[in-house]
Amino acid sequence: MGDLEAGVVDLNILLANMKATLFAQNYVFASVQEAHKQAIGNYDFLGSFVEDEGLSLIMEAEVADKAGLPYNGVFKRISLQVHSSLEAVGLTAAISNVLASKGISANVVAACYHDHIFVPSPRAEEAKSLLEKLSKDAQCEK
């Protein structure tokens, strides 16, 4: 136990080496109440988190629609193709700051190997370009 490969901690290395991959699917954030958790086993979802108000799910919009789950907003996923450590400091802030400067919301999910940013679908290409510029700028500072 405890043998998960360590990721990069240094912020400058993370920024300089990150590659933003934009996925075509539309994703939504939905919430399922305790009484409906059993039915969720029938649906595919990308991620989940247990909150006091219910089980929050990240899933494709099409799946949520088929399941009849309500949601607000439709998002695209941008995954950063750099193995970031869960103990890295500043990556989420750097990403959020560059997107916030252009009025783009960022819902960041950190997983074991990569960070995934969910941005409003209509602004996804712009967000990807901003993240690519952030990486390029960091490469110049090396």
Give the count of domains, the chain. 2
123 plus 83 within the same structural domain: yes
Number of neighbours of residue 28 by Cβ within 10 angstroms: 22
DSSP string, 5-28: PP-B--HHHHHHH--EEE-SS-EE
Domain end, chosen from 43, 71, 99, is at 71
Domain end, chosen from 71, 96, 124, is at 71
Encode pLDDT of 17-50 as tens digits. Answer: 999 999 999 999 998 876 566 666 667 889 989 8
55 plus 91 within the same structural domain: no
Segments forming the whole domain that contains residue 8: 1-26+74-142
What pLDDT, on the 0 to 100 scale, is given for residue 82? 92
Q: What percent of the chain has pLDDT over 70?
A: 90
Encode pLDDT of 45-67 as tens digits. Answer: 899 898 888 889 999 999 999 88
85 plus 133 within the same structural domain: yes
Q: Residue 98 carries which side chain, given as an amino acid letter?
A: V
Q: Domain with 81 in it: what CATH number?
A: 3.30.2130.10
79 plus 121 within the same structural domain: yes
What pLDDT, on the 0 to 100 scale, is given for residue 44? 82
